[in-house]
Amino acid sequence: MPFSVTPNVEVHRDPAGRVYHVNHPNEPYLQARDGEGPRALADRYLRDVAPVYSWDDRLVTVEAESRAAGDDGPFLEPADVKTLMGTTTVSYAETYRGLRIWEAGMAVTLAERPLRVVASTSTVHTDIDLHEGLSGTGITSGRVRRTGCKAS
């Protein structure tokens, strides 16, 4: 079910017109199933709020096994879940060709009792153009993977 923008939903845009924050504490996105945890609720929210952020559906294909073979992305992948004083943040890292993009991703903010999404913030890059073998460096995504380097 798509996320609806109503007068109770604040949509913040950058100077280029891209949505970077959606705030909706007065119109929360609610837990649909008993026992649904923060990560599952945030995953579902991502799929439903994607049109507000003007994202392609494939970006929010969180489950790696659901992705089309040979599709390099970009994708949002689960990164972390942190809870502090009744607020949980589920974060996602943006990846392209299996590599994390520096400081790019999504954070979904949830409140407890009842579990509900109240906001989200995006640092997603939708215009990625990574050329294999960066000119003169000898660096390729395959070579980075072989060295065992990991994004933290």
- Pair of tokens at residue 83: 């809870």
Is the pLDDT at 136 greater than 60, yes or no? no
- Does 74 map to a domain? yes
Token pair listed for 53: 């952020």
| Residue 152 belongs to a domain | no
58 assigned to some structural domain: yes
Domains identified in the chain, total number = 1
The mean pLDDT of 35-56, rounded to a whole number, is 92
Residue 113 lies in a domain: yes
Question: CA-to-CA distance for 102 and 125, rounded, in angstroms?
Answer: 10
**Domain-located, residue 3:** no
pTM for the structure as a whole = 0.80
- Per-residue confidence (pLDDT) for residue 54, from 0 to 100: 92
Phi-psi label, residue 105: left if phi above 0, alpha if psi -120 to 50, beta otherwise: left
Q: Is 101:125 a contact under the CB 8 Å cutoff? A: yes
Confidence of residue 141 (pLDDT cuts 50, 70, 90): low
Q: What is the pLDDT of residue 152?
A: 43
Would 5 be classed as within a structural domain? no
User: Is 97 domain-assigned?
Assistant: yes
Domain that holds residue 112: 10-147
Q: Which residues contact 43 (CB under 8 A, 6 or more apart)?
A: 62, 78
Region 41-59: mean pLDDT is: 90
| 72, part of any domain | yes
